[in-house]
Amino acid sequence: MQALFDGKSVFTYNSEIANAYICDFHRMLAEWSRNTRLDLAVRNIIISALYSSEVRMGGSGVIAAILFCNDKVNVRSSVKNKDVRVSDIEQLINAWLPRGVANRITQETFQMGGAGCAVQLKEGEQWGSTVRCLEGLVQAGGIEPIFMKQLPSSFSYEGKALVVAVDGVVESVGQIHTILEKSASQDLIILARSFLPDVANTIAVNYQQKKTRCIPFVVGDWALNNFLEFHNLGVACVSTESGDVISNVQLGGEIVASVSHNEIILENNVSRKRRISVELGRDLGAMRGLALDRIKTMLALVRFTIRTGFSTVTYDERTFYVPKSSYLAAIKTKESVEKSLRELGAVIIEKKEQRGKNAIFKKA
């Protein structure tokens, strides 16, 4: 634990060597001794308890380990959630993750408001990591189920696309054939009440084969009371009530859109909902997964701190900052670990006494 806090620990990740920081505590648990059966038993109990605590309440696992290993842990001061300042959050981030790409991206995401909105993290195909913030109209719904089954569960989209909204059902590929031809070299999003199975399946197959770049999105209720107001956002609208024909629709210009499983955000200056997208570049190589894990952990700590406040803790003359909720969870975890080890000790002693009795019996 001391080496971890002093930045003197390293671990292997995808055949690469990485410096370990406090936020990497759960990875250091795997280094526990396995020389004897007793080591394995103790290791499994402690790792299970600390890791479970860390997963449920970020930061609590490492604090529980400190409390378990050393009694010289003191809470110097506590700050309520309403008194938390921006500088306090920056201090907490630097204490848990002093440097690196993950530190920079966490700081940028926090400055953009990442503590209070959805943050999408993924591995990008570009060189260099990017952090982007999208604000706009939110349209609830979902990516067409048949189309979604043909794609990875982590599928999402963000970028500039042509958007078509159909206030009705897309019944045949022939209805949208002209639209697909006109947008062959551009991303296309079609919003509709529903898509018949043949249409959805055809779009999915062509999307996988890269013959089309169309994403079908199913809508229940439109976000705007007047459907035709989508025109103001740059969306091409097709209203069956007014006798519009899908194949005759005039495509507008590209607009910035973000598509997830249950909603789409269309960028505009009227309605506002924020979503931050983080894409880690290919230049990070095999370490992208590690950077993603670190950013997730740090954002969780930031959110816990804003909601519950934080405490300044000293450990062997080292000072660091922890969310209050994590510290309270750590105390309970430490008590649970001690109880489990006491019960294990009782079992070992009982077995030793039984072996002794059996030896005396055999000798007699």
The string of pLDDT tens digits covering residues 5-60 is: 777 788 888 888 888 888 877 777 766 666 666 666 677 777 778 878 877 787 78
* CATH number of domain containing 260: 3.50.7.10
* Together in a domain, 183 and 239: yes
- List, for residues 93-136, the tens digit of each pLDDT value: 888 888 888 999 999 888 888 888 778 788 877 888 888 877 77
* Together in a domain, 165 and 214: yes
* Together in a domain, 66 and 185: no
In this structure, of 199-208, 268-277, 312-321, the range with the lowest mean pLDDT score is 268-277
**How does 281-311 read in b/e, with b if 16+ C-beta sit within 10 Å?**
beebeebbebbbbbbbbbbbbbbbbbebbbb
Q: For residue 118, tell me if it sits in a domain.
A: no
Where do the DSSP E strands lie in 85-226?
A: 118-123, 130-140, 142-143, 157-170, 188-195, 214-218
Give the pLDDT band (50/70/90) at residue 361: very low
Q: For residue 60, tell me if it sits in a domain.
A: yes
* Together in a domain, 159 and 267: yes
Neighbours of 44 (CB within 10 A): 12
What's the total number of domains in the chain?
2
* Together in a domain, 20 and 83: yes
* Together in a domain, 219 and 307: no
| Average pLDDT of the residues in 180-206 | 90
- The three-point CA angle 110-113-118 to 5° equals 100
Residue carrying the six token digits 């378990």: 68
Which of 253, 272, 291 delimits the end of a domain?
272
* Together in a domain, 142 and 266: yes
Which of 227, 257, 272 delimits the end of a domain?
272
Between 348 and 92, whose confidence is greater?
92
Q: For residue 38, tell me if it sits in a domain.
A: yes
* Together in a domain, 206 and 308: no
Q: Is the pLDDT at 272 greater than 70, yes or no?
A: no
At residue 112, the pLDDT reads 83
* Together in a domain, 265 and 148: yes
* Together in a domain, 262 and 315: no
Instruction: Report the chain's mean pLDDT, rounded to a whole number.
Output: 81
Between 338 and 142, whose confidence is greater?
142
* Together in a domain, 38 and 159: no
Residue type, 344: L
Between 176 and 75, whose confidence is greater?
176
Question: What range defines the domain where residue 178 resides?
Answer: 138-272
Strand, helix or coil for residue 255: strand
Pick the closest to residue 258 from 329, 187, 361 (CA basis).
187
* Together in a domain, 265 and 145: yes
At residue 63, the pLDDT reads 82
Q: Which two tokens stand for residue 303?
A: 């959110």
